[in-house]
Structure 1
Amino acid sequence: MIVQTPALDAATGHVADMYDGDLRTDGFVYAHTRAMAVDPEAHQAFEALIGAIVPSIGVRTYELATLGAARAIGSPHCLLAHGRKTLRADLMNEDQLERVGRDYTDAGLDEADVAVMAFAEKLSREPQRMTDVDSQRLREVGFTDRQIVDITLAAAARNFFSRALLALAVPVDDVPGLSPALVDALLSPLDR
């Protein structure tokens, strides 16, 4: 990555908060955090957007939309980071998350969870082919209009963030707390 990022010892304000969060959790600052710290106002706006989305759909649906989008985009940063967030929030166990990483349609997820991941994946791969049929599928499995919009925003937000990291060639850090088998499963869509 050729972009110069704010130095750890000179960080102030929101940048210091971003760095401190990584340091408290993992003892180092992730490369993706450093990249986003170049424009802390944009990062704050992104965090505010996520904060507006999650209340209507819940953390589990947000993470499934995020994983579906990251899978389609081919974002190792977000697959690993959100795989870990899924585990830490006890949204599923490691075995099920491995199965989700390899093939979410055969991972024991309920119909609504599969619909969310499929929607996020299609939005991320071929948004120009989205129709009312895609949103109708979410409605059929029980989501409200607000939730359909917020699932869409969650997947679109992941596209923004993941594609920015990929475009800037941000290095992928090892994410602590993930077994080699889980890392392999989460990154398996990237091998296709």
Structure 2
Amino acid sequence: MPWIETVAYEDATGKLKMLYDRVKGPNDNVDNIMMMHSLRPHSMEGHMALYKYVLHHSGNTLPKWFLEVLGVWVSALNECNYCVAHHFAGLKRILGDDARAHAILAAIEARDLDAAPLDAAEKQAMAYARQLTRDPSGLTENDVISLRAAGFSDGEILEINQVSAYFSYANRTVLGLGCSTKGDILGLSPNNSDDPDSWNHS
């Protein structure tokens, strides 16, 4: 059970019901992380907009599977098992290579970037995400210069930054309110990236 009151889908009315209908998955399932916002629907609206825009928007140019890798990495660093479970399931589905996905997860769990089946640029992005998560004030312009030298455009550096920052926010929502995966369907996401207003999970 979460540590604060939440409103179930069947009990929702008004704006909350409207938002639940926007974010729900199969069988009217609403992810528990969204239900954490049920007493303040406006914060759910803000959370979902941020999530959709930084991770599931057609304006991004980095592959979605790698953005999910960053999310799993940051969540593991923050010891947020909820987000690791959800986004590893999504990563595995999007990547379509179970062996590689599990090898990435094993490297993440071991905190061993060298062991991850990722290229040098991707590992550089992972190192940046680790620094942003663990010691953000320790970052300098040289860290961004290193990402640029690895081949990332400034827009892609922004994507790396925003996805990493978003997951720390989501992790703190989960860990601070006692959110669990009980009843959730793992790995669903708002997959219509061409429509930023489409939040339904599938």
Whether the TM-score (by the shorter chain) exceeds 0.5 is yes
CA contact (8 A) 2:71 2:164 kept: yes
Q: Distance in 2 between matches of 1:107 and 1:92?
A: 17
Q: Distance in 1 between matches of 2:40 and 2:72?
A: 24
Query: What amino acid maps onto 1:71 in structure 2?
Result: A
Where is the helix percentage greater, Structure 1 or Structure 2?
A: 1
* CA–CA distance in structure 2, aligned partners of residues 50 and 30 of structure 1: 13
Instruction: Measure the CA separation in 1 of the matches of 2:27 and 2:142.
Output: 44
1:77·1:173 contact (CA, 8 Å) conserved in 2? no
Query: Shift of the alpha carbon at 1:44?
Result: 2.4
TM-score, normalised on structure 2? Answer: 0.74
- 1:181 corresponds in structure 2 to none
Equivalent residues in 2 for 1:159-170, closer than 5 Å: 159-170=168-179
Identity of aligned residues (%): 21
Matches within 5 A, 1:24-173: 28-54=29-55, 55-56=59-60, 57-89=62-94, 91-103=95-107, 104-173=113-182
Aligned-pair distance for 1:45? 2.0
* Alpha-carbon distance in 2 for matches of 1:174, 1:115: 36
CA deviation map 1:87-118 (0-9, x unaligned): 121x2522222221221431221112212222
* Aligned equivalents of 1:123, 1:22: Cα separation in 2: 35
For residue 2 of structure 1, report the CA deviation from its aligned partner. Answer: 2.6
- Provide the rounded CA distance (Å) in 1 between the counterparts of 2:49 and 2:132: 22
Q: What secondary structure is seen at the aligned counterpart in 2 of 1:86?
A: helix
The residue that corresponds to 2:192 in the other structure is none
Query: What is the distance in 2 between the residues matched to 1:43 and 1:58?
Result: 26
Q: What TM-score, normalized to structure 1? A: 0.78
Task: Name which of structure 1's ranges 39-48 and 6-15 shifts more when overlaid on structure 2.
Answer: 39-48
Aligned residue pairs total: 173
Q: Which residue of 2 aligns with 1:15?
A: 20
Q: Which secondary structure does the structure 1 equivalent of 2:162 belong to?
A: helix
State the SS of the aligned residue for 1:36. coil
User: Aligned to 1:114, what secondary structure does the other structure show?
Assistant: helix
| Cα separation, partners in 2 of 1:49 and 1:8, compared to 1, 3 Å | closer
Q: Deviations over 1:38-67 (max 9, x none)?
A: 333223223322333342233123212212
